[in-house]
Amino acid sequence: MTNHSAYIAGLGFYVPDRVLTNRELEKMVETSDEWIRTRTGISERRIAEKGVGTSELASRAALAALKQAGVSPNDVDLIIAATTTPDMPLPSCACFIQQKIGAKNAAAFDLAAACAGFVYALVTAEQFIRAGVYKNILVIGADVISPYIDWTERSTCILFGDGAGAALLKPASGKSGILSSVLGSDGQYADLLTIPCGGSRRPATHGSVAENGHTLKMSGSEVFKLAVRGMSEAVIEALSRAKVKKSDVACFIPHQANQRIIDAVADRLELPAEKIFVNLQKYGNTSAASCAIALCEAVEQGKIKKGDKVVLATFGSGLVWGALVMEW
Ligand code: UT7
């Protein structure tokens, strides 16, 4: 039994080429670029081509993370794919990723924690590393959510986009790595954000299609309030567990769902705008990929340097939430 923390040795992300702008949405539903930007902060999002599954985006992100870490697919011990939009109900998305990247020596499974999936998967991977079971773990947050969007429903279709982000985790030798984490969920709010049909309770039938039961339904303002509370409290608890002061946080990577949620959380945490990384204007809410893509871009843009304290916070359907403190 070892007790190594885990650190991120490589990151990568991938988004589809197709850009869907607010102006295009104006032609599809009764909305305006101005409303979307002021109420959410989003200007555009990426949409996967028809027939492209989550494993395709995830594999590209995974290969980029492996390249950055200098790890060959053969040396990956475990693939954890955080997704709620797997290519198909069986087999797991993680197995399709394994097939695509050729990680033939890995174990592989999916983890369903909606938008909080990347943080849940990082924390899960960290446990295997702390226990000394695995040395190279590929953690991927990926969703192709666009096929589940009702493109006639203006309060949801403006929010989401497709994408994937990946991290290669290894045992940490020095101080750097995951310092603390908090995961939470409250199933009493399970009905606030759902895709009601297509599962075992209500499988696909002509009726389920006719009633539009395979698209995402959300009580937006309730989710909004719970997101602010859930993320703020999780970050405060994670910082306390890591014995890190709010003022010592160099970069805060929140779930990229709505600029107003991010502002409200930042306000509660008393974090100045320059410490908060936001890229939702370009991608919207990419669900499990959101924090992963944001972390990747924050590093690429030099917003995170060695030794920095970095905080991730996520929130999603379940309701579930998670926060994680790392030293980079
Ligand atoms: O990963 C977690 C996933 N979910 C979230 O993070 C979502 C959290 N919720 C939100 O981001 C916000 O609640 C929304 C962006 C979904 C909605 O914003 P809101 O400020 O909470 O608006 P609202 O739902 O209270 O609606 C206000 C008005 C309504 O019109 P009436 O009833 O006041 O006449 C809506 O019909 O805004 C209307 N509205 C729109 N108007 C123009 C809703 N969507 C749109 C739209 N364009 N796209």
pLDDT at 2 over 90: no
- pLDDT tens, 249-275? 999 999 999 999 999 999 999 999 999
- What is the Å distance from ligand 1's center to 220 Cα? 6
The strand order across the sheet containing 137-143 reads 6-14, 163-171, 137-143, 78-82, 107-111
DSSP alpha helices (H): ranges in 76-219?
93-101, 117-130, 154-157, 206-210
- What is the Å distance from ligand 1's center to 229 Cα? 18
- pLDDT tens, 140-184? 999 999 999 999 999 999 999 999 999 999 999 877 899 999 999
Kindly report the number of other CB atoms within 10 A of residue 70's CB atom.
10
Q: E strands, 100-244, where?
A: 107-111, 137-143, 163-171, 177-185, 193-194, 217-218
Strands 137-143 and 78-82, by their bridges, are: parallel
Ligand 1: residue whose CA is nearest its atom 30: 155
Confidence label for 107 from pLDDT (cuts 50, 70 and 90)? very high
Q: Is the Cβ atom of 84 under 6 angstroms away from ligand 1? A: no
- pLDDT tens, 27-86? 999 999 999 999 999 999 999 999 999 999 999 999 999 999 999 999 999 999 999 999
Handedness of CA 72, 74, 75, 80 (dihedral sign): positive
Which are the contacts of 293, defined by CB distance < 8 A and separation ≥ 6? 13, 15, 163, 164, 165, 256, 279, 283, 286
- The string of DSSP letters for 44-58 reads EEE-PPTT--HHHHH
Q: Is 255 a catalytic residue?
A: yes
Q: Which two tokens stand for residue 39?
A: 């109420």
Q: Which two tokens stand for residue 284?
A: 């919207």
Q: How many whole angstroms separate alpha carbon 38 and alpha carbon 21?
A: 15
Q: Is the Cβ atom of 223 under 6 angstroms away from ligand 1? A: yes
Say which DSSP state 243 is in: T
Q: E strands, the chain, where?
A: 6-14, 19-21, 44-46, 78-82, 107-111, 137-143, 163-171, 177-185, 193-194, 217-218, 249-254, 309-316, 320-327
- What pLDDT, on a 0 to 100 scale, did the predictor assign at position 108? 98
Q: How many whole angstroms separate alpha carbon 181 and alpha carbon 172?
A: 16
Q: Is the Cβ atom of 154 under 6 angstroms away from ligand 1? A: yes
Q: Is the Cβ atom of 257 under 6 angstroms away from ligand 1? A: yes
- What pLDDT, on a 0 to 100 scale, did the predictor assign at position 176? 85
- pLDDT tens, 201-246? 999 999 999 999 999 999 999 999 999 999 999 999 999 999 999 9
- What pLDDT, on a 0 to 100 scale, did the predictor assign at position 175? 72
- What is the position in ligand 1's atom list of the atom closest to the CA of 25? 48
Q: Is 251 a catalytic residue?
A: no
- What is the Å distance from ligand 1's center to 209 Cα? 25
Q: Which two tokens stand for residue 238?
A: 């994670």
Q: Is the Cβ atom of 314 under 6 angstroms away from ligand 1? A: no
Confidence label for 1 from pLDDT (cuts 50, 70 and 90)? very low
- What is the Å distance from ligand 1's center to 261 Cα? 12
pLDDT at 293 over 80: yes
- Quote the distance between the C-alpha of residue 279 and its chain's center: 13
Q: Is 285 a catalytic residue?
A: yes
Say which DSSP state 280 is in: H
Ligand 1: residue whose CA is nearest its atom 14: 220
Q: Is the Cβ atom of 158 under 6 angstroms away from ligand 1? A: yes
Q: How many whole angstroms separate alpha carbon 142 and alpha carbon 53?
A: 10
What angle do helix axes 259-269 and 33-40 make, rounded to 10 degrees? 20
Confidence label for 3 from pLDDT (cuts 50, 70 and 90)? low
pLDDT at 16 over 70: yes
Q: Which of 197, 255, 258, 291 is catalytic?
A: 255
